[in-house]
Amino acid sequence: MNSLRPLWHKAGQLCLALCVSLGSGAAMAVNDLKGGPAVNQMDLHRPVTQIAMDQRTLNYGMMYTCLAIFVGVFGVMFYSIFKHRRSKGAKAANFHESTTVEILWTIVPFFIVIAMALPATKVVVAMKDTSAADLTIKATGYQWKWGYDYLKGEGEGIGFISTLDAGHRQASDSGHPEPMDDYLLKVDNPLVVPVDKKIRIITTANDVIHAFMVPAFGIKQDALPGFVRDTWFRATETGDFYGQCAELCGKEHAYMPIHVKVLSATDYTAWVQAKKKELAAKADDPNKVWALPDLLARGEKVYSNCATCHLANGKGAGPVKALDGSPVVLDPDHGKQISTVLNGTAAGMPSWKHLSDTDIAAVITYTKNSWSNKTGQLVQPKDVAAFRK
Amino acid sequence: MSAVLDPHGQVAGDHAHDDHAHDHPHGWRRWLFATNHKDIGTLYLLFSFTMLMIGGVLALLIRAELFQPGLQIVNPQLFNQLTTMHGLIMVFGAIMPAFVGFANWMIPLQIGAGDMAFARMNNFSFWLMIPAAIMLVASFFMPGGAPAAGWTLYAPLTLQMGPSMDAGIFAMHILGASSIMGSINIIVTILNMRAPGMTLMKMPMFCWTWLITAYLLIAVMPVLAGAITMTLTDRHFGTSFFNPAGGGDPIMYQHIFWFFGHPEVYIMILPAFGIISHVVPAFARKRLFGYTSMVYATASIAILSFIVWAHHMYATGMPVTGQLFFMYATMLISVPTGVKVFNWIATMWRGSMTFETPMLFAVGFIFVFTMGGFTGLILSMAPIDIQLQDTYYVVAHFHYVLVAGSLYAMFAGAYYWLPKWTGVMYSEALGKFHFWGSLITFNVTFFPMHFLGLAGMPRRYADYPMQFTDFNMIASIGAFGFGLMQVFFFLFIVLPCMRGKGQPAPQRPWDGAEGLEWEVPSPAPFHTFETPPKLNLAATKIVG
């Protein structure tokens, strides 16, 4: 046996070297991803919400309590294993029952469990309180991408699809992806939210069950087809945070990541502006020159926004001015009406700048050619664009 | 050839001539038409080991794919098939039938009964599993491949599966029917066929745990059958139980599935508790501490298991009260489970212990299973579970309780009773090698998964961000080691014993072992307890 020892030693060294080279070979070139996983991370993500903080505290509390019990109980067991063995001359005792002890070790764990449950209860209640959100976003799971719709709050109306970077998917198929810090986590359109605001995420799905998870926020909520559920977070710092789909949803389950970009309030506002413009631009060609009948048809639809106050007949009511016969509407100079629609008035008319240039041009054209207004004037989208900003 | 394979070999005692008096079939007919509980037990055990190997190969394919980032071996669709079939085969093909095998062999021997109550139903419930297993495994070769919706078969993903899903559902129905028949057999045997003097509260713990398990099986297998039948009609007959497009509710499937699924977890662990409750006293040479409380603890676990199912569903979005109720109820289960662990340690305390392989596996079980128990307690806390649900932490947790729990207890039981089954002692040195090899490779495989889960790596992922690489590599290396250890177990422990190679086993190979199974010769003759034995007061020995 002794003669074999150096051989085993050599073999052990070889194994160790192999493992280290295999392990470090891949990991060397990869760095921690801020807001995503760190290399060889052994703990929960660094929390950036109060809930995630509470979860981590609970986890530490549970882990240390369990560890203490574990060490205590198995300390006794291993003491017994080393002391009470026949080779040490131990003679078996004859006891096999004690009601007192049985009651004791039923009651004590019971109270330990209650002590554990109390702080957890508080966090459960906080986790489930999705009321009074500043911003509500619907996250829809599709096979295999996420759709985000800003339902309420700043950015209302924005909607887009978020898909894994195609290059990453190909790299996965190639079998030997180059080292990347955000491998399988890079998307084309991240979800963008403001910092320090309560964000309510409503989840639903288009086909099968998905789950919306962002570990740094401490949220995970199944997205169910045909049903809506919600969760919430309030990020305490700006940055990029990553998660992945957490419910088996078919073939490409591993390829529908979640990337949340948390911006400061001003950056977020700027993003909303830019995004709206981008979406508006996508919807209609702003340089298109429209013919009157098309513009009127479109304008009639948009007018439903206006009819709430100005009424379908354009007569207005009370403080709401009539559009029918209004000098501003009939004016051949379109500037005044365009800026009124875009910016609203001090008298109470709201701003309608979130409508697209085409919609505003159409609705203005509609008012100029409806009821008793027969001006024949046309407002084109680019006229409106000129008045923006 | 050992007695397991050939009842006409060297059989000690006056039972030998009985074998000739009864004309039973020989050759393949002996197994196909088997009505003897020992033969059927052997069939069950060999079958489940075969399934363990098949499920193990699938697991190793998964681990090989996850060795490094990128897809090298399988495509994502096949990967999902592998995880799904690994789960189904291990749960329904390996762990459950293995315990039924133990029950067939040991319950009649332990209660002094001649055989199981319904010998032909026993045969039927075994042979039903063969077509089911073939159908399950062959589904890989059906158009579209095997089911790939996860072993939980969540709707509405199951509606997207190919024809193999129907084969899978059919297979599960058959396996369920087999389980129910097995359970009826066990209940009737235990309640009606105990030797005179063996009252319920003198019955060996393994029989107690199986009695309770059998009731659990009868209660929940039909629930599973209901869930998968509804899936089937949703797929083919225009119903919309779980399909939201027709007004169904996919969450209802999860409620029904886990109402089966959670008691199922205890179905797979209670018989393990029973085995450990025999092995620990035998090698501590001291009676089991707190027998009565062990029985009550087992019953409490079984009852509680019916009211905790939705702790698998915290992330589906339950109301606050729902989360709190299931959290409290789940945490409560740790109390009776703790009682069991304390009782085992109290049994060891001031005993006179030796550490043959069965005892090593039993102590290994208590130690490593408890780690799984603690991670279970941590997962039961809804706020923490929201972080860990559907991550590798859960994978680590249930492998700690199912592999280090159920499988280790079965190894403990196999080493403990192998001399009785085969009449041959296994090699203690090889057994110890198997134990230490399994213990180390098991922990190398599954311990790093806790870290992966905490770091947020979702389960059932064919590819993963590169930061997770090292732990995945370690887990994969461990998995191949663990797989090899189990091949070693079969080739160098089981096979030699079945071939009768080794020291002949005495009637009571363990000096501290108690129970009627040690009152019959080794190997146990083909027929035992043909007339009810006369028992001593403790119902552990035959007198007169």
Reading the block at residue B275, the tokens are 């085995």
First to last CA, chain A: 87
Q: Which chain B residues in 207-246 lie under 8 Å from chain A, judged by CB atoms? A: 244-245
Three-state DSSP string of B378-446: HHHCHHHHHHHCCEHHHHHHHHHHHHHHHHHHHHHHHHHHHHHHHCECCCHHHHHHHHHHHHHHHHHHH
Q: Is B115:B524 a contact under the CB 8 Å cutoff?
A: no
Q: How many residues does chain A have?
A: 389
Q: Is B356 in the active site?
A: no
**Could you give the ipTM of this predicted complex?**
0.89
**B270: three-class secondary structure by DSSP:** helix
Catalytic site residue from B125, B183, B277, B476: B277
Give B211: exposed, middle or buried? Use CB within 10 Å, 0-12, 13-18, 19+. Answer: buried
pLDDT tens-place values along chain B, 544 residues long: 344 544 444 444 444 444 444 567 788 888 998 999 999 999 999 999 999 999 999 999 999 999 999 999 999 999 999 999 999 999 999 999 999 999 999 999 999 999 999 999 999 999 999 999 999 999 999 988 999 999 999 989 999 898 999 999 999 999 999 999 999 999 999 999 999 999 999 999 999 999 999 999 999 999 999 999 999 999 999 899 999 888 899 999 999 999 999 999 999 999 999 999 999 999 999 999 999 999 999 999 999 999 999 999 999 999 999 999 999 999 999 999 999 999 999 999 999 999 999 999 999 999 999 999 999 999 999 999 999 999 999 999 999 999 999 999 999 999 999 999 999 999 999 999 999 999 999 999 999 999 999 999 999 999 999 999 999 999 999 999 999 999 999 999 999 999 999 899 999 999 999 999 999 998 999 999 999 999 999 999 998 6
pLDDT tens-place values along chain A, 389 residues long: 444 455 555 555 555 555 555 545 444 589 999 999 999 999 999 999 999 999 999 999 999 999 999 999 999 999 999 999 999 888 888 888 888 999 999 999 999 999 999 999 999 999 999 999 999 999 999 988 999 999 999 999 899 989 999 899 999 999 999 999 999 999 999 999 999 999 999 999 988 999 999 999 999 999 999 999 999 999 999 999 999 999 999 999 999 999 999 999 999 999 999 998 888 776 777 778 888 888 888 888 888 778 777 888 888 877 778 898 888 898 888 888 998 888 887 767 777 777 788 889 999 999 999 888 988 888 988 888 888 86
Report CA dihedral (A127, A129, A132, A134) to the nearest 10 degrees: 20
Which of A213-227 are b and which e, b meaning 16 or more Cβ less than 10 Å from the residue's Cβ? bbbbbbbbbbbbbbb
User: Which residues of chain A have a CB within 8 Å of the CB of B473?
Assistant: 19, 22-23, 26
Q: Would you call B291 and A207 a contact, using CB atoms and an 8 Å cutoff?
A: no
pTM of the model: 0.84
Q: Is B31:B113 a contact under the CB 8 Å cutoff?
A: no
Owner of token pair 């008691």: B263
Instruction: Count the alpha carbons within 13 Å of B484 in the hemisphere toward its beta carbon.
Output: 12
Answer whether B538 touches A (CB < 8 Å).
no
Give A53: exposed, middle or buried? Use CB within 10 Å, 0-12, 13-18, 19+. Answer: middle
Angle at which helix A50-83 crosses helix A99-127, to 10 degrees, equals: 160
Q: How many residues does chain B have?
A: 544
Q: How many Å apart are CA B253 and CA B235, to the nearest integer? A: 14
Q: Is A199:A193 a contact under the CB 8 Å cutoff?
A: yes
Q: Would you call A184 and B463 a contact, using CB atoms and an 8 Å cutoff?
A: yes
Q: Would you call A80 and B250 a contact, using CB atoms and an 8 Å cutoff?
A: no
User: Which residues of chain A have a CB within 8 Å of the CB of B382?
Assistant: 120, 123-124, 127
User: Which residues of chain B have a CB within 8 Å of the CB of A183?
Assistant: 69, 465-466
Residues ≥6 apart with Cβ < 8 Å to A323: A306, A310, A314, A316, A329, A367, A371, A373
Measured in angstroms, the CA of A357 and the nearest CA of chain B are apart by 37
